[in-house]
Homo-oligomer: A and B are copies of this chain.
Amino acid sequence: MKKPMNLIFVLALVGILAGAAFAQFAKTEDAIKYRQSVMFLVGQHFSRMGAVVKGEQPYNKEAFEKNAVLVESLYRLPLEAFMTPGSDKGSGMKADALAQKDKFTQMHNTTEAELAKLAAVAKGGDLSAIKPQFGAAGASCKACHDAFHNK
């Protein structure tokens, strides 16, 4: 079922989506579902890398890199959905999150940078360099979740 990594695909995602500002959600619920969809996919592919870092799965450079690039790419999508007014209702977002948009954006950008670094070291293929960067990326995820996501 696995296909070889499609470099065009991943490079297109990374390049095309960088700085992209996708407008328009028809409904507030769509913004919530949009970001939840992205974050579920991010979680899935981040966890696949985590299994390797923990030694539960063997390290395969191509597969790890694919996951890292995909996570980096996906994570560029949802900021606008997070910022959508009213979307703090009916989601796991803390009630005061949208009152701290600057902090939210800053933390989002920090994670984005950590994920970009992770993709870069994944391309390098040195697991001893990947592991600490995976940790740094995960820590930035956790910091933002702690700040803005209900337990």
Secondary structure at chain A's binding surface: helix, strand, loop or mixed? Answer: helix
Mark out the residues of chain A between 42 and 73 whose CB falls within 8 Å of any chain B CB in the assembled complex: 43-48, 50-51, 53-54, 56-57, 63, 65-67, 69-70, 72-73
B34→A41 contact, CB < 8 A: yes
- A134 is an interface residue with CB less than 8 A from chain B: yes
Contact A13:B141 (CB < 8 A) given known A18-B47, A57-B22: yes
- A91 is an interface residue with CB less than 8 A from chain B: no
Residues in B whose Cβ lies below 8 Å from that of A6: 76, 132, 135-136, 138-139
- A98 is an interface residue with CB less than 8 A from chain B: no
| Bound form: Cα–Cα A39–B132 in Å | 33
- A95 is an interface residue with CB less than 8 A from chain B: no
- A106 is an interface residue with CB less than 8 A from chain B: no
B48→A22 contact, CB < 8 A: yes
Cβ-defined partner of A41 (8 Å) among B37, B48, B142: B37
